[in-house]
Chain A
């Protein structure tokens, strides 16, 4: 499927900052408590992603791929380890870190930073598209721009955001479907809307969690060609997949086994 064969190489686990890395994870530990059972999902995972790189993370079902992606994308908080984006820590120091969410978290500078990263620097594509059914295609794509803007700023930049959203929808081939609702689209089209939504705010990293996992082969191929095209234009992508055929599109593939890279 891919033009160039991906390389698999061991990650640096020393914890030292890599000056070339846009995103760097060091010693990530993530444990879940399921009743009486403690489940170690990630154990001392370290990796770095360079600017403009397309990194694939492979692993069997339940190996912790999605958890790692969530931690890298600041959606989840590891108990131990740190993620640095653009040289800056994403999480609070371990001694002051909490994994649960509180309403007053907006007062925490690290929580603010994490929300800010998700608003402006990161974009997410999920296996099940995760579009809001009440909104049209255009409104779904505009949503990240709305979240990132204050009310006043939104009214000032609304037209520009609309034009950007229309342009990105044209780019993913859905220029004619902007007023449609998600339930009026096919699976492949929905995933393209999700990609447009993830890209509308021009994120520096696109996180894709099994982007073809819910699609047939033809639709999956189209999605991967779209992601590959974006990568060629300079988009940094971190993708999680269990499908080796999909992983071939990545520059570099890391394998996760029993919580370890």
Chain B
């Protein structure tokens, strides 16, 4: 009992202990902040990775692709665990911007939009689809032009009547529907918080006219759909818009919705030969996608699966030499499974898929030739974790490394506690002699100082967790405050990091683990002083001047 009593009394009376507590507080808060930010980043990355490709990916990592995907999809779609499977084609291409001397290398992805949406919630990443629901399609479409409405409004600037801009149907109706939904949701956010204001919208805001998310070419006549129907192309947002340092996107007036892009592609034959003659195809910019991963959003464009298959000559055909059938090819199959499928079951599912695919392709009825059989032999099914291990693995290691580094820095607190407690032991030498003279044992006296260290750690861990929590949950506000002083003080540069906000969640288990380590480290820091106190000879202690 006396140990606890004296520990608490010494804690209260020795002001120097507050420095030790402050050191533990800062170290615990520091490690927690690092763990939370890095952990949050990793979680977001994993979540995005999972939502990007589906739960299982079947591929052979070759632009040539692999055959018999329809038969395979048809078979696995009958399995209870499978919700949706969709074929995808990946290839490289050159994207030429309209009326601009700009050409960029892009990764072209052929998708079936409806199926891809069921596998990866792809529509959720689209910009125009959000404000004009139901209008984004990869099928041939015409270009919408912003025209003048047939009604008038009075200008808020000079009170003069003017004809406000208006969109053609179905865009005008879709926008009304989106605005109604937004109003009903009761959200306090602006209708379009992710874009900077366009020139049209700025003028309309001043005049009191309607606002239009996105960029549309304006014509001073009736709003119309113009041009010949062209296949749609969804473009990575970082290709067509510039990400500002505050995370919003600036859209260029010279890149309105519906504008015509040309794509240059090189077909690859089933034997792996690349056609030296490029294929040039025109697409209409129908929407832009933001997955949140900069590498993807700055390089990927999405076109209709069947159209791309045709351009790359990967569709079903007739063999010239023997008149036999050439199987259609895709380069990836993305599979969505039921929510309740565990990681272990998912792994087993991939093995089952590989076995099924091999069975289908090796069936003589399939009639595959040697080249096709070779393509099929290299097909693998992977879980999303396996597939994204090259992205997730380094971030996991980075999280561990940074936490470890900050943990090592925190050893300073242990050294500080050691010094402070040793100093207290020297100051309390006579007390130690007194306690021993009234029967306190060596271990009993030592435990006073061990308890002391543990209490310093406990108080430090509690305050550190509190400080860390307050900091983490307000980290974005703190950054905003810093930026309000100087823009250079932006820590989380949104042009570099793919996420809009600094991760601001603290995990309970992180707090518990760091808190326990804080208490343990502080206790360890007290051991030397405790050992010194415990082994002090009572007579020498009583005589200590």
Binding site for B on A (CB under 8 A): 67, 70, 73, 75-76, 100-106, 111-112, 115-120, 124, 126, 130-132, 134-135, 143-144, 146-151, 154-155, 197
- Say yes or no: B438 contacts A103, CB within 8 Å: no
- Say yes or no: A119 contacts B437, CB within 8 Å: no
4 closest Cβ pairs, A-B complex? A119-B439, A146-B2, A154-B1, A118-B439
Residue in B435, B442, B542 whose beta carbon sits within 8 Å of that of A103 in the complex: B442
- Say yes or no: B443 contacts A135, CB within 8 Å: no
Complex CA–CA separation, A252 to B434 (angstroms): 28
**Which of B21-29, B184-192, B502-510, B531-539 makes up part of the contact surface?**
B531-539
- Say yes or no: A143 contacts B438, CB within 8 Å: yes
Complex CA–CA separation, A119 to B441 (angstroms): 10
Complex CA–CA separation, A106 to B437 (angstroms): 15
- Say yes or no: B537 contacts A150, CB within 8 Å: no
- Say yes or no: B534 contacts A75, CB within 8 Å: no
Residue numbers in B under 8 Å from A116 (CB-CB): 439
Pick the most buried of A103, A116, A197: most chain B CB atoms within 10 A of its CB: A103
A71 to chain B, nearest CB (A): 9
Contact residues of B between 391 and 434, Cβ < 8 Å to A: 430-431, 433-434
- Say yes or no: B437 contacts A118, CB within 8 Å: yes
Binding site for A on B (CB under 8 A): 1-2, 4-6, 9-10, 12-13, 430-431, 433-444, 446, 531, 534-539, 542
- Say yes or no: A146 contacts B431, CB within 8 Å: no
A103-B531, A130-B433 are contacts. A75–B441 as well, Cβ < 8 Å? no
A75-B538, A76-B539, A132-B431 are contacts. A124–B1 as well, Cβ < 8 Å? no
- List 19 other contacts, CB 8 Å, given A124-B437, A134-B12: A105-B442, A106-B441, A106-B442, A115-B439, A115-B441, A118-B436, A118-B437, A118-B438, A119-B439, A120-B439, A130-B542, A134-B13, A144-B438, A144-B439, A146-B1, A147-B2, A147-B435, A151-B1, A151-B4
8 contacts between A and B (CB under 8 A): A75-B437, A103-B443, A111-B441, A124-B438, A143-B435, A146-B2, A147-B438, A147-B439
Main SS at interface, chain A: helix
A103-B443, A103-B534, A143-B2 are contacts. A126–B435 as well, Cβ < 8 Å? no
- Say yes or no: A132 contacts B434, CB within 8 Å: yes
Residue in A102, A124, A146, A148 whose beta carbon sits within 8 Å of that of B5 in the complex: A146
A58 to chain B, nearest CB (A): 20
Residue numbers in B under 8 Å from A135 (CB-CB): 9
Pick the most buried of B2, B435, B436, B439: most chain A CB atoms within 10 A of its CB: B439
Complex CA–CA separation, A120 to B438 (angstroms): 9
Complex CA–CA separation, A144 to B436 (angstroms): 10
Q: Which residue of A lies closest to B434 (CB)?
A: A130
A102-B535, A134-B10, A151-B1 are contacts. A126–B439 as well, Cβ < 8 Å? no
Residue numbers in A under 8 Å from B13 (CB-CB): 134
Complex CA–CA separation, A151 to B7 (angstroms): 14
B9 to chain A, nearest CB (A): 5
Residue numbers in A under 8 Å from B442 (CB-CB): 101-103, 105-106, 111
Complex CA–CA separation, A196 to B108 (angstroms): 92
Pick the most buried of B5, B9, B10: most chain A CB atoms within 10 A of its CB: B5
A75-B436, A116-B439 are contacts. A130–B535 as well, Cβ < 8 Å? no
Residue numbers in A under 8 Å from B430 (CB-CB): 130
Residue in A115, A134, A149 whose beta carbon sits within 8 Å of that of B1 in the complex: A149
Residue numbers in A under 8 Å from B440 (CB-CB): 115, 147
A2 to chain B, nearest CB (A): 28
Residue numbers in B under 8 Å from A126 (CB-CB): 437, 542
A143-B2, A147-B2 are contacts. A100–B537 as well, Cβ < 8 Å? yes
